[in-house]
Amino acid sequence: MLLVAAALGLAFSQTVLAAAPAASLAGNPLATASTLPFHYPAFDKIKDEHFIPAFNAGMRIQLKEVSAIANNKAAPSFDNTIVAMEKSGELLTRVQTIFGNLQGANTNDKLDAIDSEMSPKLAAHADAIYLNPKLWARVKALYEKRDALKLDAESKHLLERYHTDFVRAGANLSAADKDKLKAINANIAKLQTLFTQNVLKETNASGLVVDTREELAGMSAAAIDAAATAAKAKGLDGKFFVAVVNTSGQPPLAELTNRTTREKLMALSLARGSHGGEFDNREVVLKIAKARAEKATLLGYANFAAYSLEDQTAHDTASVNKLLGELAKPAVNNAKKEAADLQAVVDAEKGGFKIDASDWAYYTDKVRAQRFAFDENQLKPYFELDNVLINGVFFAANKEYGLTFKERKDLPVYNPDVRVFDVFDADGSQLAIFIADMYARPNKQGGAWMNEYISQSSLLGTHSVVANHLNIPKPPAGEPTLLTYDEVKTAFHEFGHALHGMFSNVKYPRFSGTSVPRDFVEYPSQVNEMWAVWPEVLANYAKHYKTGAPMPKELLDKVIASKKFNQGFLTTEYLSASLLDQRWHQLTPAQIPTDVLAFEAQSLKDMGVDFAPVPPRYRTTYFSHSFSGGYSAGYYAYLWSEKLDADTVEWFKENGGLLRKNGDWFRAKLLSRGGTDDAMNLFRNFRGRDPVIEPLLERRGLTGK
């Protein structure tokens, strides 16, 4: 999955303000751009108390800049209006970017409180810009004569993009409706922040507590020891604490031999945010859904999904509903066939029970072992973290794009486990700085994501500082970090996002890096996953952490042969979440239900995906993608992007695979272009035609073959 610091829709300068910062920021390291290479943040100097003064000053300064643009007595021109807006807000961008990234990766109670305080203020700040009638008049005047301005293609697209942003932000509303919109936006910002914080706190509070080692049978001795240590840290001496991650399925379910323990772990995972208590999200969900529906109605749309999708490559709800609907039935049918295979193993072992969600991962590993004669634990010794990163992810980037990497220890980090690398282009010039934050922490949000601290822009003379975040459990001191196959794929996936950011070669910050539609942004990262099992790459990193012996070819062959295995489950859990996301956001204000769980259950039934052994990947009350704002009405984007990805993988195979000429073409035609053109035009320029769906159906085993 991609995540960046909340932006206001405008792009802001990363350069030092021409005017001196306000006196209130004296001694504040956020006041001016960092003097470290590429303006890398001075994490060692930034304190929690620096953020609120910097936020307030940043908003005040940008409003002054915007006022000067709006009230300029000179006739509107591209330079004095659009370019001037691109250069505005340097301080606010810096503080908002650093704060947003740290609040996701290394939060604490103070940062959470700041987030709660600032979210509605930042929403109001954005409204003050987009709903400024004089500023809108200048943008509109330029837009109406855009063909006569003789702008280059990127500049013309920027003007068009600004016009769209203003219209979608409500610039055409009456004064009274603008006031209503401002109130709604502030409310949504406050509610989204509350939802996000509840999810993290509930996840941390919802770990499984057991009394004996025997209840955790099947987990490794090291993992059980870690559970004992985690329990002791919580004041539960003599007990064992198993943390949960923010998906319905939990990794230990594949290992635990005690069915009662599996049932307890699955039940607490599925109940998060919906069983009462201070972190219950049910009422928050209803308020968010209603506020978003009201916003869409005010702006003239049928529902929030219609509003959101208009600005994506999918464009409308009908297109998304069609894609998801076409896949739902074959996916569930495949899942039911897989369930029958699992049930056969249970019956052969005289288990005496019917397969449910808590059993799926455990018995899937058994069927996998029978069918392909291996299980996931056979792979892990060959997937040591450093080998995966340096000799896998970086190696593939070198072969495909000519990149080289050099770790540096002199730059400050916000956590001792964070690593920093200089990234050099094929000609030896430095391209970017890459931050690798791989381990899970209680104060780090779940999942995996990429963000940028500094975005590339030739207008501003800036280069990329990008970060990847994973949530790999940290082993006890002295033990190696051994990854699952899914964690390896995730490392390659997130680095695909990083490449998209690092390769950016645009003029305007509004278009930098991953500033593309949400249902397009996952596409390049998904393409990068292909190199994880590419023979040349895998042979370079998949080596036993003790002996250095390469992964046996027969094991690799089994891994590749099993790629379609369990696709019924994987597709169904994803589709269920995607369909829920759409169902919530295709409601009008009057249709908002009163019971979250009842609505969820009925929706899954109506859509034909109510198969109890395969719950949605995210249930509503911990569905951060949907209700924290980033992928609201947009969780389908992974599947939409995968259609492009699967077709692109075929292109690489047709053209010889991991070759510099292929990487250079992909970089030139697509990765470097950011948001400078319509996303599907970029795909067509790369591929030579529109995408086809057959490679995706084949990949997911939905062709009936």
* Enzyme catalytic residues: 494
* 8 Å CB contact between 363 and 342: yes
Which regions of 175-289 does DSSP assign to beta strands (E)?
A: 208-210, 240-242
Burial of 67 per CB tally in 10 Å (0-12, 13-18, 19+): middle
CA-CA-CA-CA dihedral for 612, 614, 617, 621, to nearest 10: 10
The DSSP line for 583-619 is: HHHT--GGG--S-HHHHHHHHHHHTT---TTS--SS-
Please name the helix (run of DSSP H) or strand (run of DSSP E) that holds residue 450, with its range, or none: strand 449-454
Q: How many CA atoms are closer than 13 Å to the CA of 372, on its beta-carbon side?
A: 23
Using alpha carbons, select from 338, 357, 320, 331 the residue that is nearest to residue 578: 320
Spatial neighbors of 541 by CB under 8 A, at least 6 apart, are: 387, 388, 390, 391, 392, 395
Distance CA 17, CA 19 (A): 5
Name every residue whose Cβ is closer than 8 Å to that of residue 156 and which is 6 or more positions away in sequence. 146, 149
Q: What residues pair up with 208 in beta bridges, in sequence order?
A: 242
Q: What is the separation, in whole angstroms, between the first and last Cα of the chain?
A: 29
Residue from 312, 317, 308, 269 nearest 289 by CA: 308
Question: Cα dihedral sign for 148, 149, 155, 160?
Answer: negative
| Exposure on the CB side of residue 478, measured as CA atoms within 13 A | 1
Alpha-carbon distance 584 to 289, whole Å? Answer: 7
CA distance 621 to 623: 6
Residue (of 511, 421, 593, 373) closest to 37 by Cα position: 421
* Residues sharing a CB contact under 8 Å with residue 439, sequence separation 6 or more, in sequence order: 417, 470, 471, 472, 473, 474, 481
Partners of 467 in the β-ladder: 435, 451
- Return the sign of the alpha-carbon dihedral for residues 620, 622, 624, 627: positive
Amino acid letter, residue 335: A
**CA neighbours closer than 13 Å in the CB half-sphere of residue 499:** 31
Rounded-to-integer distance, Cα 176 and Cα 164, Å: 21
Q: What are phi and psi of 451, to 5 degrees?
A: -145, 170
The alpha-carbon radius of gyration of the chain (Å, integer) is: 25
What's the one-letter identity of residue 487?
E
